[in-house]
Homo-oligomer: A and B are copies of this chain.
Amino acid sequence: MPDVPSGNAIVAQSGGPSAVINQSLVGVVDGLRGHRSIGTIYGARHGVRGMVKGDVVDLGAVDPQRLELVAATPSSALGSTRDKPDRAYCENIFATLKKLHVRYFFYIGGNDSSDTCRIVSELAGASGYDLRCFHVPKTVDNDLVMNDHTPGYPSAARYVATMFMGDNLDNRALPGIKINVVMGRHAGFLTAAAALMRLREDDGPHLVYLPERIFDVDRFVGDVERCMSRLGRCQIAVSEGIVDKDKQPIGATLIRTGQVDAHGNVQLSGSGALGDQLAELLKQKLTPAGGKPPRVRADTLGYAQRCWPDPSPVDSREAREAGRAAARAALAGELSGSVAVQRLRQEPYESGMKLVKLADVAAKTRHMPEEFMKGENNVSEAFLDYLRPLVGPMPSIGWL
């Protein structure tokens, strides 16, 4: 008989939303509901913040049909937070959990959230409170270690690949230089997804710049110039996290070296500034003597990447299963852990979940492996093979 103390459970969501984070929430409820050791299944509003305040809802009381609708809805239905608890914060969490007779804590989020889970778990142990803590993975950045990929990423990748596909057709129709800035401060997986729907040899993105590579401004200008000579157009995917050889963000470097003008208080990330700065740079450098500057436009993809309500079906299924797996682990008597997505088979694609140690995932960042990159400005076939089964059916296109 597994050691499964009777008590209540609490589920919470953390960090940036994704299109499928509610699937994981409903997966946890699915997995716990009706089990004899589990009493009430609470949902805490706005992550650990709601756990401190006791701001909870009874998820077990929600009509299952409504819960299905919630599962299919993007963004964290319970609300989210970016709070990261320290010891004092944790003491307040325990006070609430004790009051609510909670023995099981499920936290859905990225690597910060798995670290929160680890801290809460350790402090509970140290204070003699039997609290079982489970982390359910979620991040559009795909930067959790121990996972083949992370729930949330396939849907974000689907959005990015679809956007680049349409934008490439736009760039064909009205040729010019087009820069698209993609999310992912430290890992290039989402930017790399831009390349998924290259169907013809001259389809964009023609250049892909990842945070795992050093971004050299002069080489960038040369890359674009060569692409323009060859095709008369150039579609570019740029990670918001590109850095120079000293690991400094490119926007800061361009301003410091006087290559573009500073823009007051505008933040370098989380705004359109990087795209606009790169566009300005290209206009300056690629204007022929006495000629007109080239047509350069920049889009920064924004929050639609993480909350577009057309998730990948594979992602929806896996996110649900990740939540269920966490519940199963708890009911099997595990004391803590992080669910990790494993690829079991490539063709036909099949995945499974396993439980790993919180400390093995917590606060670590995964990067694009070398074999997923090609040269300084492209992705490899290995990466495209990795991504293809995850995103779901994509639109078919025709050309003249």
Q: In the complex the two chains form, what is the Cα distance from A267 to B97 in whole Å?
A: 54
Given contacts A261-B263, A265-B283, A304-B304, contact A398 B66 (CB under 8 A): yes
Given contacts A82-B174, A261-B264, A280-B266, contact A70 B400 (CB under 8 A): yes
Q: In the complex the two chains form, what is the Cα distance from A204 to B283 in whole Å?
A: 37
- Is A303 on the interface with B (CB-CB < 8 A)? yes
Given contacts A276-B273, A299-B303, A396-B69, contact A75 B261 (CB under 8 A): no
- Is A188 on the interface with B (CB-CB < 8 A)? no
Interchain CB contact under 8 A, B272 and A72: no
- Is A385 on the interface with B (CB-CB < 8 A)? no
In the A-B complex, the 8 residue pairs with the smallest Cβ-Cβ separation, listed nearest first, are: A272-B272, A261-B264, A69-B398, A299-B302, A75-B169, A166-B307, A263-B263, A70-B398
Q: In the complex the two chains form, what is the Cα distance from A215 to B95 in whole Å?
A: 50
Q: In the complex the two chains form, what is the Cα distance from A395 to B79 in whole Å?
A: 20
Q: In the complex the two chains form, what is the Cα distance from A81 to B295 in whole Å?
A: 13
Interchain CB contact under 8 A, B297 and A300: no
Q: Of B66, B172, B178, which contacts A79 at CB under 8 A?
A: B172
Q: Mark A165-206, 1 if CB is under 8 A from B, else 0.
A: 111011011100010100000000000000000000000000
Q: Which residue of B lies closest to A298 (CB)?
A: B271
Q: Of B77, B170, B310, which contacts A17 at CB under 8 A?
A: B170
**Residues of A participating in the B interface, judged by any CB pair closer than 8 Å:** 13, 16-17, 19, 43, 46, 57, 59, 62, 66-82, 162-163, 165-167, 169-170, 172-174, 178, 180, 260-266, 270-273, 275-277, 279-280, 283-284, 297-304, 306-310, 395-400
Which has the most chain B C-beta neighbours within 10 Å: A66, A277, A395? A395
Residues in B neighbouring A261, C-beta threshold 8 A: 262-265
Q: Which residue of B lies closest to A263 (CB)?
A: B263
Given contacts A174-B17, A263-B276, contact A304 B166 (CB under 8 A): yes
Residues in B neighbouring A57, C-beta threshold 8 A: 400
Interchain CB contact under 8 A, A399 and B283: no
Interchain CB contact under 8 A, B309 and A395: yes
Q: Which residue of B lies closest to A311 (CB)?
A: B395
Q: Which residue of B lies closest to A178 (CB)?
A: B303
21 contacts between A and B (CB under 8 A): A17-B173, A62-B400, A70-B398, A73-B395, A73-B398, A74-B169, A74-B397, A75-B166, A79-B173, A80-B174, A167-B307, A169-B307, A178-B303, A263-B276, A270-B297, A271-B275, A272-B272, A272-B276, A272-B298, A299-B302, A300-B300
Residues in B neighbouring A16, C-beta threshold 8 A: 174
Q: Which residue of B lies closest to A300 (CB)?
A: B272
Q: In the complex the two chains form, what is the Cα distance from A46 to B233 in whole Å?
A: 14
Residues in B neighbouring A310, C-beta threshold 8 A: 162, 310, 395
Given contacts A17-B174, A79-B172, A304-B163, contact A68 B398 (CB under 8 A): yes
Residues in B neighbouring A280, C-beta threshold 8 A: 264-266
Given contacts A272-B300, A298-B271, A299-B304, contact A172 B75 (CB under 8 A): yes
Task: Report the minimal beta-carbon distance from A330 to chain B, rounded to whole angstroms.
Answer: 21
Interchain CB contact under 8 A, A166 and B72: no
Q: Which residue of B lies closest to A78 (CB)?
A: B400
Task: Report the minimal beta-carbon distance from A316 to chain B, rounded to whole angstroms.
Answer: 13
Residues in B neighbouring A71, C-beta threshold 8 A: 398
Extra 13 A-B pairs, beta carbons < 8 Å, given A262-B264, A265-B284, A301-B302: A17-B169, A17-B174, A69-B398, A74-B169, A79-B174, A80-B174, A82-B174, A166-B304, A169-B307, A261-B263, A263-B264, A266-B276, A272-B273
Task: Report the minimal beta-carbon distance from A285 to chain B, rounded to whole angstroms.
Answer: 12
Q: Which residue of B lies closest to A165 (CB)?
A: B309
